[in-house]
Chain A
């Protein structure tokens, strides 16, 4: 049974849900969550391609594990930034952080 197409549809949907969240959310935490969604859609791709196209190797699996690890570290960093942002602006609204402009 080859479900590659279906899986790719799911991962694409996940990716664009992430993009949608990234563009429309005002809360920084929500934006971060959207980024995680996008990362996970990529992970699904990796695993799916590995399973159906190169069943004899494990590269894709390794890569997805790697991405999960990096994402965890990235979230830790991002949360620290968000906390600092909150301390300075008293909000986590992305519209209040438009200081870096012309």
Chain B
């Protein structure tokens, strides 16, 4: 318990560093801001790894399971309504401790990488200030002890993501992408907020543990209330959970709210590695995992999670095969892997071995964070070296960038799921859970696994092989950019051997996960097939890929244009929302509301123009009018009395 007192430091330090770099960065800390930010992250990483070691391996256990520890709990805002209050608390349980490690390690790597990558940038200190802000909000999000506090940090994460996507704010594309990301996720967060309020008011608490306790007990009044109240034939609990999931789907770029993620690649590449690959986008998965016991008791909501995840996984994998921008391929790959994590949660059961999907999902979250940020950082070096994002400008880079080549290959193998790299183990567990939960989803997952291997190796071969070496503008990156790659590659190599089922489980009781060799044959064969197809098509320059694209015809064109989802959104917003709702409302405002106010003013002025001649400055004229008035009034009143 004694280490819990260091937990508030995890939030205080990055906030402090944000404030310092934000206030004094541009004036007096121009050169040292990167070092300060990185040092703070180094301290955070050390703290969180120490906390994780203590929590998982040294700290005392409760009935053989991991206990939940409150590091801090301060009542903050009391509503005075149904005992509702928002507390500021820090909660330690297996998933939040695991997330601490993921966030701080990836963030540290990205900080170190950025020291080299962002060097000479005009707004270098501001960049590190924003990174600190992001780290602060993300840590706050995972440590939140109640759902409202989580919502606050959730929005803070969105803000820092907005700031970092729009970091190159002189480019209109970056500004548009930042706005798009913010608006789409904000729109999804509306659902999240409504869901929170429904859950909070019915269960009379925002606290995660109490919420779970009340809503998983079929005899509690809150559960019965939410179960019997229904709207459009769906119970209030299902509505609330689905709405909460909409928020999660927006942040985790699930179909059809994924449109912001590929555009978010306009930000600096290390930012994509940190926010849009490893940490922020998994917030949705984390949210569902946090509320998993409630989701588990509600099959409709859980099925929604599963099918959204499965659909997104396949959908994004298909699109990723056709994209030609290196970062966009990676973005769609991220979306596909997030779909994997989602459907793993969706097919999971609760308690003991049936909670395999939950464990697998968080395991995949863990491994994916490392190899995906490695891929993004590698892409950063490549972009740095040839000053282009487009795969058409790349090829034959294996000699010019040996370290990048090797680490990129490791990451590709890991994400494709080749044993014994980390991705293999987590993906295997997910597929196993899907096999036991839902065969349809298992099939989709299997297909996606093959596609993943294909598009990752398409990327790999197009960058590093394919044609004679591209001319490299700058030499391979400085040490500060290589070291993170090597560390992340090392983690990707070994992370698969962590016995996750001992650490992160639904009921916090460890179980022994079984490993079936026979089961892994099918996915492995598909993966190998994917790799070899990619090799055949892309290792050497040729027309084979173009022929294949020709053969797919319309389908290829559709995937290349991301299945026109952006166009559908544009159509809906422009033609339906804008034309039918927006512009009539604007017209009503301009003509009726503004017209009324203007008319009042104009009328007053018109009358005033007509009668102002009465006030001509002649005192005797006033007096005459006054007397006339008196006379008329007196006649009226005298006459009135007579009658």
- Taking Cβ atoms with an 8 Å cutoff, the residues of A that contact B are 19, 22-23, 94-95, 97-102
Q: Is the CB of A23 within 8 A of B612?
A: no
A23: contacting residue among B615, B617, B620, CB under 8 A? B620
* Chain B residues, Cβ within 8 Å of A98: 616-618
B556 to chain A, nearest CB (A): 78
Asked if residues B620 and A97 are in contact (CB atoms below 8 Å), the reply is no
Is B620 a contact partner of A101 (Cβ separation < 8 A)?
Answer: no
B522 within 8 A of A: no
Q: B627 contacts which chain A residues (CB < 8 A)? A: 19, 23
Bound together, the chains give a CA A52 to CA B623 distance in angstroms of 33
Contacts of A19 in B (CB 8 A): 627
A102 in contact with B619 (CB, 8 Å)? no
Residue of A22, A95, A102 near B615 (CB, 8 A) is A102
Residues of B within 8 A of A100 (CB): 617
B624: Cβ under 8 A from any A Cβ: yes
A76 CA to B615 CA, complexed, in Å? 28
Chain B, residue nearest A101 (CB): B617
A23 near B624: Cβ-Cβ < 8 Å: yes
Contacts of B623 in A (CB 8 A): 22-23
CA separation between A13 and B612, bound complex, in Å?
Answer: 35
Per the bound structure, the CA–CA distance linking A3 and B623 in Å amounts to 33
Q: Which residue on chain A has the smallest CB distance to residue B620?
A: A23
Main SS at interface, chain B:
helix
Spell out B's residues near A (CB within 8 Å). Answer: 612-613, 615-620, 623-624, 627
The interface residues of chain A lying within 8 Å CB-to-CB of B615 are 101-102
Report the Cα distance A45→B618, complex, angstroms: 31
Chain B residues with Cβ under 8 A from A22's Cβ?
A: 620, 623
Chain B nearest CB, measured from A70 CB (Å): 20
A102 with B624, Cβ < 8 A, contacts A94-B619, A95-B618, A97-B619 known: no
What is the CB-to-nearest-CB distance from A61 to chain B, in angstroms, rounded to a whole number?
28
> In the assembled complex, which residues on chain B have CB atoms less than 8 Å from the CB atom of A99?
617
Given contacts A19-B627, A102-B612, contact A94 B617 (CB under 8 A): no
Complex: A98 Cα to B619 Cα, angstroms: 8
C-alpha gap A99/B632 in the complex (Å): 29
**How distant is B164 from chain A, measured CB to nearest CB, in Å?**
61
10 contacts between A and B (CB under 8 A): A22-B620, A23-B627, A94-B618, A95-B618, A97-B619, A98-B616, A99-B617, A101-B615, A101-B617, A102-B615
Q: State the CA gap A82–B618 with chains docked (Å).
A: 16
Interchain CA distance A31-B572 in the complex, whole Å: 79
B616 with A101: CB separation less than 8 A: yes
A39 nearest CB across to chain B (Å):
16
CB-CB < 8 A to A94: which residues of B?
618-620
Query: What are the residues of chain A within 8 A of B620 when measuring CB–CB?
Result: 22-23, 94
When chains A and B are docked, how far (Å) is the Cα of A19 from the Cα of B623? 10
Give complex CA distance A102, B615 in Å: 6
Of chain B, the residue at the smallest CB distance from A24 is B620
